[in-house]
Structure 1
Amino acid sequence: MEDSLILKNIGKHISLDKQEALYFLSLLKEKKVCKKETILKADEVCREIYFVQSGTLRAYYTDKAGKESTIMFAVADWWVTDMFCFINKKPAMLNIEALEDSFILQLSKEDLDKLYLKIPKFEKFFRIIMQNAYIREQLRIIENLSLTAEERYYIFLEKYPQVAKQVKLKQIASYLGITPEFLSMIRSNKNKVIS
Structure 2
Amino acid sequence: MESAKQQYLASLKHFCPALTDHELALFVSKLSFQMLQKKEFFIEAGNVQKAIGFIAEGLVRSYYVDPAGDETTVGFYQVGDYATHYHSFLTRNPSNYTIQCLEPTVMACLSYENLQWVYGQSTGFERYGRLVAEEILKRQQARIESFIFQTAEARYLTFIEKHPGLFNRVSLSHLCSYLGIERQTLTRIRQKLAHQ
- What range is the shorter-chain TM-score in? over 0.9
User: TM-score, with normalisation over the residues of structure 1?
Assistant: 0.93
Counterpart position of 1:9 = 11
1:68-126 alpha-carbon deviations (Å, 9 max, x no partner): 11111110011111111110001111000000111111111001100100122111112
Shift of 1:127: 1.0
Q: How many pairs are equivalent? A: 193
Counterpart position of 1:129 = 132
1:16-61 alpha-carbon deviations (Å, 9 max, x no partner): 2222111111111111110000110000121111000010011111
Q: Where in structure 1 are there 5+ consecutive unaligned residues?
A: none
Counterpart position of 2:39 = 36
Counterpart position of 2:156 = 153
Counterpart position of 2:90 = 87
Counterpart position of 1:115 = 118
User: TM-score, with normalisation over the residues of structure 2?
Assistant: 0.93
SS in 2 for 1:166: coil
1:134-165 alpha-carbon deviations (Å, 9 max, x no partner): 12222222221122101110011111112223
Give me the identity figure in percent: 31
Moved more, 18-27 or 183-192: 183-192
Distance (whole Å) between structure 2 residues aligned to residue 12 and residue 165 of structure 1: 28
SS in 1 for 2:69: coil
Q: Where in structure 2 are there 5+ consecutive unaligned residues?
A: none
Counterpart position of 2:68 = 65
Distance (whole Å) between structure 2 residues aligned to residue 45 and residue 117 of structure 1: 23
Structure 1 runs of 4+ with >4 Å offset: none
RMSD between superposed Cα atoms in Å: 1.3
Moved more, 78-87 or 175-184: 175-184
